């Protein structure tokens, strides 16, 4: 079975939907990727900002602890109790000095340092000059300022790495306290400061800090994790100072939750990993011998992206839906409807209306298409007209040939007074498939025949001519009616590739006795009119001619009395239809032919038989009332008068 083709509008709708859907998916994916990357960048920026703030707070808190624990108490003794009290307090302290503005040490726990200049210590001289300058230009705030260096330097004896702090008071601008702390003491203070500044501090809503001691314990975070081992990182810290003590190499090996490790040669790094089952962006850096881990959950970082992408997806759904509807309506209006209009005109043309014109001209393409179709139809009309003219000429020749083949002169045998005979054939097409024939077989026998070929027009006419010739030849050879049909059947079956067939009724009338010897090959029963009453002559029919090889036909007889009429016809008579497709019918024919004593007025030449045929023809025309004739109407009427009549 041939597969039903889809409509163009449906195909365009499906293809357009796929295109819009793919565009929507691609647009949403690109938008999400951009938003995701932006959110990830903002997460790292947020971590960097918070970590920088934490480092700054940690530096300040460490300096504050240094001042409160080591420096300010000595400064208070000097400023309140005097130089001697300060000297006593400095006993045993090798790395704390009181210096003049020019940097000369005048008080120290180590007598060897008195008189030396503290500015000879790397970085400390410039450090002190900046602090004194801040008082002189008024930029220093408060009555006391303290500040520490952020790097380890050598002492005056060149042996110990320490961190230095300077404290100055406005009340004693020429006296400055400089103290040096060992690295261990300094980093211990840094550890305490880290606990203070990092504990319970948040990044965003749910991000937080973890402070990790050198022994890999968490010393400051939420209460649940405090003082527990840090399970994720193996921290190996190697530092080697170069010429510049502030420049060195730090190596940190990070072991993540999934067992993978990464190595970083930086004091500060940023990445993404999993901590306690939660994906986080993190910063990791070392300060004051502790490690600070800043964690910002990916879920929170991406929540804005998820909310934004949801909003954008909803907007894109609306936009792409509107776009799909607008494009579909536009295509349907500008293309599909125009094609439907063209197809409607083509359907009318295909149905035979060659006067139909395609008038779709709102675009160059459709204007060209309309012109091409109309030009093609006009050319087709010319071809059809030429072909019709040729066919009409051929049919006219065929009709003339067929008409010449059928007897048309009545009375056919004017010298014979034993019978009256008239026949007519009105073809439904230019040529028909019905035929009749009659011939004198000898001085006392009249042969007459009526037949109906299954085909119409030219093929039917050709088969009709062949059948008529074959039957007449056999009948005139002296064979009885049944044997005529038996032999004719064999000849007509030969080479009958078109599988056409003929119904026929053949009678041999003995003019002396009125006996009719009959052979019927599937034809309609004739009507016998006797004494003004009509009735069908029912004889057993045989198979139609050319229907099957090897068929043998049987002869039957019919006795006519003087004055009897035998009316033979084809099914075009009884099956003629009116406009409501109602058939003329056999009953109507019998009723018409049962005219009693009211015989039709005889004609001058053909007696009563011609008026009988004319009466039937007129009644059929009245019944059909102008309806198109669908089949050939053929009839033959014989009136037996007998010898001497």
Residues 523-579 pLDDT 10s: 999 999 998 899 999 999 999 999 899 999 999 999 999 999 999 999 999 999 999
Average pLDDT over residues 338-360: 72
The residue-averaged pLDDT of 387-407 equals 67
**Which of 51-55, 461-465, 616-620 is predicted least confidently?**
51-55
Report, as an integer, the average pLDDT of 11-30.
75
* pLDDT top residue among 89 and 168: 89
The DSSP letter of residue 169 is E
- Asked if the model's pLDDT at residue 609 lies above 70, the reply is yes
Single residue among 188, 209, 225 that ends a domain in this structure: 188
- In terms of Cβ atoms closer than 10 Å to its own Cβ (0-12, 13-18, 19+), residue 523 is buried
What pLDDT sits at residue 339? 66
> Does 76 share its domain with 109?
yes
Residue 317 lies in a domain: no
Q: 520 vs 67, which has greater pLDDT? A: 520
Residue 395 is part of which domain span? 354-405
For residue 148, tell me if it sits in a domain: yes
Query: Of the candidates 300, 315, 346, which is a domain's last residue?
Result: 300
Task: Give the model's confidence band at 245: pLDDT under 50 very low, under 70 low, under 90 confident, else very high.
Answer: very low
418 with 567, same domain? yes
Residue 411 has pLDDT above 70, yes or no: yes
Here the CATH number for the domain that contains residue 41 is 3.30.450
Whether the pLDDT of residue 243 is over 50: the answer is no
**Higher confidence at residue 40 or residue 465?**
465
502 and 625 fall within a common domain: yes
Question: Is position 132 within any domain?
Answer: yes
What is the DSSP annotation of 497-524? TT---EEEEEEEEETTT-EEEEEEEBPP
Domain match, 366 and 285 both = no
Greater model confidence, 449 or 131:
449
Q: Looking at the domain assignment, is residue 588 inside a domain?
A: yes
pLDDT beyond 50 at 239: no
- pLDDT of residue 452 exceeding 90, the answer is yes
Is there a single domain that holds both residue 440 and residue 582? yes
Query: Domain end: 188, 218, 248, which one?
Result: 188
Residues 163 and 211 reside in one and the same domain: no
426, 382: one domain: no
pLDDT of residue 148: 58
What pLDDT is stored for residue 172 in this prediction? 60
Res. 240: pLDDT tops 50: no
pLDDT tops 60 at residue 235: no
Q: Write down the pLDDT at residue 645.
A: 47
The Cα–Cα gap between 454 and 498 comes to: 11
Residues 155 and 286 grouped into a single domain = no
| Sign of the dihedral defined by the CA atoms of residues 546, 547, 553, 555, in that order | negative
**Confidence label for 391 from pLDDT (cuts 50, 70 and 90):** low
What CATH number is given to the structural domain containing 633? 3.60.40.10
Task: For residues 623 and 579, give the distance between their C-alpha atoms in angstroms, rounded to a whole number.
Answer: 9
Query: Which residue, among 154, 120, 123, 118, has the nearest Cα to 241 in the 3D structure?
Result: 154
Looking at residues 450-456, what average pLDDT do you find? 85
- Range of lowest pLDDT (348-357, 393-402, 430-439, 580-589): 393-402
pLDDT in tens, 111-156: 878 888 877 776 666 667 776 666 666 555 555 655 555 456 666 6
Rg (CA), the chain: 63
Percent of the chain surpassing pLDDT 90:
28
- Please tell me the predicted confidence (pLDDT) of residue 169: 62
Answer yes or no: is pLDDT of 244 > 50: no
Residue 76 pLDDT exceeds 60: yes
How far apart (Å, rounded) are the C-alpha atoms in residues 404 and 33?
A: 93
Predicted confidence at residue 248, as pLDDT, reads: 45
pLDDT at 533: 94
CB-based contacts of 640, cutoff 8 Å, min separation 6: 418, 419, 509, 514, 560, 561, 562, 563, 564, 565, 566
Say if residue 13's pLDDT is above 80.
Answer: no
In-domain check, residue 343: no
Structural domains of the chain, count = 4
Rounded to the nearest integer, the mean pLDDT of the chain is 78
Note whether 383 and 368 are same-domain residues.
yes
One domain, residues 228 and 93: no
Position 66 in a domain: yes
Q: What is the pLDDT of residue 247?
A: 44
Residues with Cβ < 8 Å from 68, sequence gap 6 or more?
none
Greatest mean pLDDT among 312-316, 381-385, 488-492 lies in 488-492
**Bridge partners for 144 per DSSP:** 169
* Long-range contact set of residues 393-399: C-beta below 8 Å, sequence gap at least 24: 394/458, 395/430, 395/431, 395/458, 396/430, 398/430, 398/431, 398/458, 398/461, 399/427, 399/430, 399/431
pLDDT-derived band at 485 (thresholds 50, 70, 90) equals very high
* pLDDT score for 147: 57
**325 falls within a domain:** no
Do 178 and 273 fall into the same domain? no
The CA-atom distances, in angstroms, between 183 and each of 164, 238, 578 are 10, 16, 126
Q: What percent of the chain has pLDDT over 70?
A: 73
- Residue 268, class by beta-carbon neighbours within 10 Å (0-12 exposed, 13-18 middle, 19+ buried)? middle
Is 212 inside a domain boundary?
A: yes
Tokens representing 339?
């094609």
Give yes or no: residues 43 and 74 share one domain: yes
């Amino acid at each position: 079975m041939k597969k039903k083709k889809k409509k163009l509008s449906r195909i365009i709708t499906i293809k357009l939907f796929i295109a819009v859907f793919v565009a929507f998916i691609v647009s949403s994916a690109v938008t999400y990727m951009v938003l995701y990357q932006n959110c990830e960048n903002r997460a790292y920026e947020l971590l960097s900002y918070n970590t920088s703030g934490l480092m700054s707070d940690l530096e300040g808190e460490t300096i504050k602890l240094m001042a409160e624990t080591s420096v300010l108490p000595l400064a208070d003794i000097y400023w309140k109790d005097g130089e001697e009290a300060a000297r006593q307090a400095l006993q045993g302290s090798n790395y704390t000095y009181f210096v003049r503005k020019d940097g000369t040490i005048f008080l120290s726990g180590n007598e060897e340092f008195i008189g030396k200049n503290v500015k000879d210590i790397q970085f400390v001289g410039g450090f002190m000059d900046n602090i004194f300058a801040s008082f002189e230009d008024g930029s220093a705030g408060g009555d006391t300022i303290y500040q520490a260096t952020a790097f380890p330097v050598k002492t005056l004896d060149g042996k110990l790495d320490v961190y230095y702090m300077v404290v100055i008071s406005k009340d004693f601008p020429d006296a400055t306290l400089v103290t040096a702390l060992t690295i261990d003491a300094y980093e211990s203070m840094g550890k305490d400061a880290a606990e203070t500044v990092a504990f319970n501090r948040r990044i965003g809503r749910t991000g937080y800090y973890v402070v990790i001691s050198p022994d890999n314990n968490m010393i400051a975070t939420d209460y649940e994790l405090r003082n527990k081992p840090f399970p994720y990182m193996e921290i190996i810290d190697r530092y080697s100072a170069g010429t510049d003590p502030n420049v060195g190499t730090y190596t940190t090996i990070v072991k993540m939750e999934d067992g993978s490790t990464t190595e970083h040669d930086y004091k500060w790094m940023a990445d993404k990993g999993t901590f306690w089952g939660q994906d986080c962006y993190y910063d990791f850096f070392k300060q004051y011998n502790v490690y600070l881990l800043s964690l910002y959950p990916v879920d929170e970082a991406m929540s804005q992206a998820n909310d934004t992408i949801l909003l954008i997806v909803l907007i894109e759904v609306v936009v792409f839906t509107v776009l799909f509807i607008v494009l579909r309506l536009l295509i349907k209006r500008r293309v599909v409807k125009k094609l439907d209009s063209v197809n409607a005109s083509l359907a009318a043309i295909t149905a035979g209306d060659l006067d139909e014109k395609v008038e779709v001209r709102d675009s160059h393409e459709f204007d060209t298409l309309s012109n091409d179709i109309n030009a093609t139809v006009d050319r087709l009309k010319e071809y059809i007209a030429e072909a019709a003219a040729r066919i009409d000429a051929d049919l006219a020749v065929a009709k003339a040939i067929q008409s010449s083949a059928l007897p048309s002169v009545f009375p056919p045998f004017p010298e014979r007074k034993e019978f009256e005979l008239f026949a007519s054939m009105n073809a439904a097409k230019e040529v028909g498939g019905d035929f009749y024939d009659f011939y004198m077989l000898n001085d006392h026998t009249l042969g007459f025949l009526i037949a109906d070929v299954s085909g119409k027009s030219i093929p039917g006419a050709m088969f009709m001519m062949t059948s008529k010739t074959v039957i007449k030849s056999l009948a005139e050879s002296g064979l009885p009616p049944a044997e005529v049909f038996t032999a004719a059947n064999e000849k007509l079956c030969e080479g009958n590739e078109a599988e056409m067939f003929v119904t026929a009724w053949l009678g041999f009338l003995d003019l002396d006795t009125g006996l009719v010897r009959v052979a019927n090959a599937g034809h309609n029963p004739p009507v016998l009119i006797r004494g003004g009453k009509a009735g069908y002559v029912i004889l057993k029919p045989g198979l139609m001619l050319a229907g099957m090889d090897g068929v043998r036909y049987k002869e039957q007889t019919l006795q006519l009395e003087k004055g009897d009429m035998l009316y033979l016809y084809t099914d075009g008579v009884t099956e003629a239809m009116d406009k409501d497709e109602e058939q003329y019918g056999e009953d109507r024919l019998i009723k018409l032919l049962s005219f009693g004593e009211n015989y039709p007025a005889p004609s001058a030449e053909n007696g009563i038989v011609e008026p009988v045929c004319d009466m039937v023809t007129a009644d059929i025309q009245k019944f059909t009332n102008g309806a198109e004739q669908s089949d050939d109407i053929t009839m033959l009427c014989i009136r037996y008068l007998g010898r001497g009549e």
